[in-house]
Amino acid sequence: MTQKTSDKSRRNFLKSFGVTVGAAGVVSSFSLLSAAKAAAKEPGETVNLLTADGQLVQVDKNQLRPTVNEPLDELQQRGREGIAGKSFVMVIDLSKCRNARKCMSACQNHHQLRADQHHINVLQMQDADHTAPYFMPKPCQHCDNPPCTKVCPVDATFKRQDGIVLIDNERCIGCRFCIAACPYSARIFQWTEPKDAEKYKDLTYNIEANVPQKKGTVSKCLFSADRLREDKLPSCVSACPNGVYYFGDRNEDAVTNGTSGETVRFSKLIEENAGYTLMEELGTKPRVYYLPPKNRAFEFNGDLLNEENLH
Amino acid sequence: MKNLSTILATLVLVFAFMNSASAEDWKVSATAKKKLNPYELSKKNISTGKKVYQTNCKSCHGDPTKANMLPLVPAPADLGSQNFLVQSDGEIYHKVKVGKGAMPTFEKTLNDESKWMVIAYLRSFDKNKKKAVVTKAVVNPEVSDVKIELDIDSEHKKLKAHLTGLKKDGKRAGLEGIELSFLIKRAFGQLDISGEEAYTDAKGELLIQFPTDLPGDREGQVDLTIKITDEDEYGVIEEKRVLSIAVPTNPKNPLDERAMWGTRANAPIWIIASYLLGVIGIWSVIFLVLFQVFQLSKMRTKS
Amino acid sequence: MNDDTKSKETTLSFEKIKQDVLRPMQNHRGLELWIVFLITVISVGAWAYYVQLRDGLGVTGMRDYVSWGLYIANFVFFVAVSLVGMLISSILGLLKVDWIAPISRIAEIIAVAFVAVAGLVIVLDMGRPDRVLNVMIHGRFQSPILWDVTVITTYLVISALLLILPMIPDLAICKKEIKTAPPMLKKLYAILSFGYTNTPEQHKHLHKMIRTLMVLIVPVGLAIHTVTSWLFAATLRNGWDTTIFGPYFVAGAFVAGSAALIIAMYFFRVNYKLQDYITELHFDKMGKLMVAVCLVYLYFNVNEFLVPGYKMKSGDSVHLKELFFGSWAIMFWSSQLLGNILPIILMVNKRFRMPKPIMIISIFVLASAWFKRYVIVIPTMLHPHLPIQNVPDNYQHYFPSSVEITVTVLSFALALLIITVLAKIFPVVPICEIADQKGIDYKIEE
């Protein structure tokens, strides 16, 4: 357990510098050092990276690239099949969300999105005139009756056996019907060349992270399917400093908190906290559960734009 | 403070502007400072405090005395350092309660007892007060080769752990009052099923009810790890087992059914049939008409 | 344009019909200029589309929330107008309404032009038009888009056949009569007349085929607009999540189509000097037909807006308030008033069913129909279930960009070009059918 959590803090550490370390996750110190040397010729924005063996290196940001080793066909095939026997669910504890937005930036790093593109978006909600406002992180709900995959004309968006709804960038025709169909506004469209398109253009497409993003296609939250394959929690879940997210396998009836690493029974967590799903009246059967924002440990600050209020 | 900075620098980045002001800025009233921890520094309380610490504090502050906190600015304090522990119980309690800046308030997230337990845990690192630690009346004999044995009652789903150590006289003796953790492996972590009071009895035994509704794999198997919760005294002592007493699950593949939301291969039969019948029906009439049009010129020759 | 030449009671002979109809086909006055103008507009539009292809759909006003904008509204409009072919030549034809004979071909020309461009508009809206074939390769039966693509293609083919087949006797005449036609066109007449000489056997055979197609186009025509409405009704959005969208769209399409047809009738009557064929009677009848379809459409509008407006469900209420009193109120109410209510009130009066007034009313109806589509598509996208937050300011509003508008103008220019070309190379009024109707004997020589 201690081993596990110390791994986590290291990951948090890397995250805090806004660096995505690869789909494969392992970056050898050798390649990093040579990258650092190359960067020395052309000084640009540098980042500090901790290597697997504990060395601290400084690397030019432009030298960093996710590593993908598998060929496209294999990535596509396993991406479409999903992970057998799993049934992923997320639980979001609204009583803990104080709009730190670490989830949003971690997600944008992982999926190569600009700062105004959201796979996950922390919304300021107020259900009725005199009810209390609260912050609500909103990823894709990975519905079990997904309105988006129903309308896709080409099987570009689809649900896998582990419950995750993915998008195949290689097939999407950009009709945006799925965006119109999604009641949660969870989908975005690449209206122009995606961020860093030039840098990532030779990269093999990884359907499980939907990177590199492509102009004229749709993108959305994927529960970091590439990380789940390595038994890692989704980027947003790991990045949260306030213990908002739980993620796990419903078949195992267990979810793990991304901040504390604590694992709890999914059914008990939902039962004891009166967990609910978003807009259940639409019959979409979401896989993202919310715990109501009661007994909040902080004052709600309504001003989203004020940076000081974010902590 | 200088010492702290050096530790930080070796590990992470040099925070040249190491924030030394953070400690002074807190406004803690004199009365608040005078508060004393109403709970004794018993082994049990320290161990409870450690659990609370690991869930709520560790993600930022790291492990006490290890200085592996998150590299934030201002840096979270090493709560096991002597610099920190010079403060009174009341002062620490107040800071946990109200928070400041990036330090969240735990007024409502942690109940009072948990807050004091954390303080008890932190005090266990205090070199000045360590002597004051009141250990429980139970004193286990000095032992070596500590091990955990497990009996499984499959029928009632009960697990009995037996914690023993080899005494100097060569006999095995049960170790009393030691907290054990029963951990079930799940996809992203270990599920603790030990319950609240998982301490061994006088014989060194501990009986645990395995949750009757916990799912395992298809055969009902789960991976269990039993370990001594606090690794400080006997080191890492653990026992791993594969149990077959969980509820067997047969994961349902949602793709087995034909559905409106499914892929084309999983489309409902009726919709495929209506599409194909419609297209074939209408287009065969179109082709028939086209064919008939070309008959027109033949009719000319006949007339 | 003027409409002064009153249609006198002239005895029509076959020769006269032939000459009256074929004359405008041989007279090119001003035509080249008009075609050059259209092609210029299309070229500018094509350049705008090239910019869109190069830089992505970001050059449009659309963003993540309003992800369907002008193009889709325009697409719905084009599909709607094209439905007039089915209404006039098929439904009324099957009901043996005989006054439609001189205008049915104009209706079919409009249908072919608009449905062809509608298919193109959908491609213009796609983020990856290079992958358009994926719809054939990977098409999902559950998606309304596959059905839409299929139905639009089918409708285009049947409409084209319904344009050509009844024209075969006329083309046999053209083949012989239009001596000045370029060789290419002569060859086209020769092929498309299928050696028709109006033998009784041929006549019977041809009309059997036409009747088959007329029956066939009814379900396809209903399907094309119903499926188009499902693009919206299949979602869970406020304003689209309704069960009457299919018939609502069909009724709206009849209104838009009739208006387009009346405008075209007036244009051809005046410009092609066809006052003897497209008579005041036809405008009068079309006026009555339009009142009828407008009433049906009004009935659907009442149901579509009054029922949710009465309940004011949480999601709907924001949407409806914006439509009724908010920033969409002007567009919403003017499209309802000018495109529906006022035309009904005016056109019950016989005076307003005269060619010129009804043409002017129709222009308003058609424009309103276009804005009505805009009001159906865009406000709903601006009122999602969850608040629009943490996005740039321009995500929260929508106004079409200049590129978008130019590409949309292209679609209109293209439709007009198709109509112009079809009306130039084909007789816009069926010669033989009118002769048949008037009981005039004629012979078609080879």
Binding partners of A (≥3 Cβ pairs within 8 A): B, C
Burial A276-286 (b: 16+ CB within 10 A, else e): ebbbeebebeb
Reported residue count of chain A is: 311
pLDDT over threshold 50, residue C390: yes
The full DSSP string for C273-306 is: T-TTTS-HHHHHHHHHHHHHHHHHHHHHHHHHHH
Domain boundaries, chain B: 2-132, 143-243, 256-296
A252, A259, A266, A309: best to mutate for the B interface, most B CBs within 10 A: A252
Q: Are residues A85 and A129 in the same domain?
A: yes
User: With contacts defined as CB-CB under 8 Å, which chain A residues touch C57?
Assistant: 174, 189, 191, 216
Whether residue A242 is contained in a domain is answered as yes
A290 and chain C: CB distance < 8 Å anywhere?
A: no
Residue with token string 């209104």: C255
Q: How far apart are CA A38 and CA A35, in angstroms?
A: 5
CA nearest neighbour of B181 among A250, A233, A263, A252: A263
Per residue in A58-71, pLDDT (tens digit) is 766 655 655 556 78
Q: How far apart are CA B303 and CA C393, in angstroms?
A: 75
Strand partners of residue B223: B242
SS3 of A290, please?
A: strand
Task: Please indicate whether, in this complex, the C-beta atoms of B264 and C141 are within 8 angstroms of each other.
Answer: yes
Domain count, chain A: 2
H or E segment to which residue A143 belongs: none
pLDDT band at A56 (very low <50, low <70, confident <90, very high): low
pLDDT band at A50 (very low <50, low <70, confident <90, very high): low
Please name the residues in contact with C131: beta carbons below 8 A apart, sequence gap of 6 or more. A154, A171, A172, A173, A174
Distance of CA A309 to the CA centre of its chain: 24
CA-angle at A60, arms to A58 and A65, nearest 5°:
110
CA-angle at A212, arms to A210 and A215, nearest 5°:
95
Token pair, residue A47, equals 């980042």
pLDDT over threshold 50, residue A39: no
Per residue in A266-286, pLDDT (tens digit) is 999 999 999 999 999 999 999
B269 and chain C: CB distance < 8 Å anywhere?
A: no
Whether residue A245 is contained in a domain is answered as yes
Q: Are residues A269 and A139 in the same domain?
A: yes
Domain count, chain C: 1
Whether residue C408 is contained in a domain is answered as yes
In the prediction, which pLDDT does A2 show? 40
In the prediction, which pLDDT does A178 show? 96
Whether residue C136 is contained in a domain is answered as yes
Task: Please give the sequence-ordered ranges of beta strands (E in DSSP) within C150-194, or none if there are none.
Answer: none
The full DSSP string for C306-365 is: HHHHHH--HHHHHHHHHHHTSTTHHHHHHHHIIIIIHHHHHHTSGGGGSHHHHHHHHHHH
Task: Please indicate whether, in this complex, the C-beta atoms of C150 and B300 are within 8 angstroms of each other.
Answer: no
Domain that holds residue C85: 17-233+243-294+400-438
In the prediction, which pLDDT does B40 show? 81
Per residue in C102-121, pLDDT (tens digit) is 999 999 999 999 999 999 99
Domain that holds residue A102: 72-291
In the prediction, which pLDDT does A122 show? 94
Neighbouring C-alpha atoms within 13 Å toward the C-beta of A136: 26
User: With contacts defined as CB-CB under 8 Å, which chain A residues touch B106?
Assistant: 297
User: With contacts defined as CB-CB under 8 Å, which chain B residues touch A6?
Assistant: 63, 68
Token pair, residue C98, equals 């005989």
pLDDT over threshold 80, residue C418: yes
Strand partners of residue B163: B148
Q: How far apart are CA C334 and CA C323, in angstroms?
A: 11
> CATH code at C194?
1.20.1630
Q: Say what the ipTM of the complex is.
A: 0.91
pLDDT over threshold 60, residue A34: no
Task: Please indicate whether, in this complex, the C-beta atoms of A151 and C58 are within 8 angstroms of each other.
Answer: no
Task: Please indicate whether, in this complex, the C-beta atoms of B275 and C165 are within 8 angstroms of each other.
Answer: no
In the prediction, which pLDDT does B276 show? 96
Whether residue C365 is contained in a domain is answered as no
A2, A6, A9: best to mutate for the B interface, most B CBs within 10 A: A9
A277 and chain C: CB distance < 8 Å anywhere?
A: no
In the prediction, which pLDDT does C298 show? 96
Per residue in A211-265, pLDDT (tens digit) is 899 999 999 999 999 999 999 999 999 999 889 999 999 999 999 999 888 899 9
Task: Please indicate whether, in this complex, the C-beta atoms of C235 and A190 are within 8 angstroms of each other.
Answer: no
Average pLDDT, integer, range C314-341: 93
C230 and chain B: CB distance < 8 Å anywhere?
A: no
Q: With contact defined as beta carbons under 8 Å apart, do C260 and C115 qualify?
A: no
Whether residue A78 is contained in a domain is answered as yes
Average pLDDT across chain C, whole number: 91
Task: Please indicate whether, in this complex, the C-beta atoms of A297 and B13 are within 8 angstroms of each other.
Answer: no
For chain C, what percent of residues have pLDDT higher than 90?
76
Q: Are residues A104 and A32 in the same domain?
A: no
Q: Are residues A156 and A268 in the same domain?
A: yes
Stronger pLDDT, C56 or B30, i.e. the higher one? C56
Task: Please indicate whether, in this complex, the C-beta atoms of C141 and B272 are within 8 angstroms of each other.
Answer: yes
Least confidently predicted of A153-162, B237-246, C61-70, C171-180: C171-180
Least confidently predicted of A66-80, A284-298, C386-400: A66-80
pLDDT band at A209 (very low <50, low <70, confident <90, very high): very high
Whether residue A252 is contained in a domain is answered as yes
> CATH code at A198?
3.30.70.20
Whether residue C96 is contained in a domain is answered as yes
Stronger pLDDT, C326 or A37, i.e. the higher one? C326
Average pLDDT, integer, range B255-265: 93
Average pLDDT, integer, range C308-332: 93
What architecture is the B2-132 domain classified under in CATH?
Orthogonal Bundle (1.10)
Stronger pLDDT, C310 or A307, i.e. the higher one? C310
User: With contacts defined as CB-CB under 8 Å, which chain C residues touch B258?
Assistant: none
In the prediction, which pLDDT does A224 show? 95
- Please classify residue B235 by burial: count the beta carbons closer than 10 Å to its beta carbon, then call 0-12 exposed, 13-18 middle and 19+ buried: exposed
Which of A173, A181, A279 shows the shortest C-beta gap to C132?
A: A173
Q: Taking the model in full, what pTM does it have?
A: 0.83
What architecture is the B143-243 domain classified under in CATH?
Sandwich (2.60)
Average pLDDT across chain B, whole number: 82
Lateral strand order in the sheet of A254-257: A276-277, A288-291, A88-93, A245-249, A254-257, A263-265, B189-192, B180-186, B222-228, B238-243
For chain A, what percent of residues have pLDDT higher than 90?
60
Name the DSSP class of B103.
B
Token pair, residue B191, equals 């599920």
Average pLDDT, integer, range C46-74: 95
Whether residue A119 is contained in a domain is answered as yes
In the prediction, which pLDDT does A306 show? 45
Whether residue C370 is contained in a domain is answered as no
Q: With contact defined as beta carbons under 8 Å apart, do B186 and A254 qualify?
A: yes
Distance from CA of B109 to the nearest CA of C (A): 28
Q: Are residues A89 and A53 in the same domain?
A: no
A12, A46, A253, A310: best to mutate for the B interface, most B CBs within 10 A: A253
pLDDT band at A10 (very low <50, low <70, confident <90, very high): very low
Q: With contact defined as beta carbons under 8 Å apart, do C293 and C358 qualify?
A: no
Q: Are residues A94 and A34 in the same domain?
A: no
pLDDT over threshold 60, residue A146: yes
Residue of chain B whose alpha carbon sits nearest to that of C169: B296
Distance from CA of B286 to the nearest CA of A (A): 25
Task: Please indicate whether, in this complex, the C-beta atoms of C209 and B289 are within 8 angstroms of each other.
Answer: yes
pLDDT band at C180 (very low <50, low <70, confident <90, very high): confident
pLDDT over threshold 50, residue C278: yes
Task: Please indicate whether, in this complex, the C-beta atoms of A121 and C388 are within 8 angstroms of each other.
Answer: no
Whether residue A310 is contained in a domain is answered as no
Stronger pLDDT, B175 or A49, i.e. the higher one? B175
pLDDT over threshold 80, residue B274: yes
User: With contacts defined as CB-CB under 8 Å, which chain B residues touch C202?
Assistant: 296, 299-300, 303
B8, B50, B188: best to mutate for the A interface, most A CBs within 10 A: B188
Distance from CA of A54 to the nearest CA of B (A): 9
pLDDT over threshold 50, residue B10: no
Least confidently predicted of A14-18, A197-201, B6-10, C402-406: A14-18
Binding partners of C (≥3 Cβ pairs within 8 A): A, B
The full DSSP string for B216-274 is: -STTS-EEEEEEES-HHHH-S-EEEEEE--SBP-----GGGS--TTS-GGG--HHHHHH
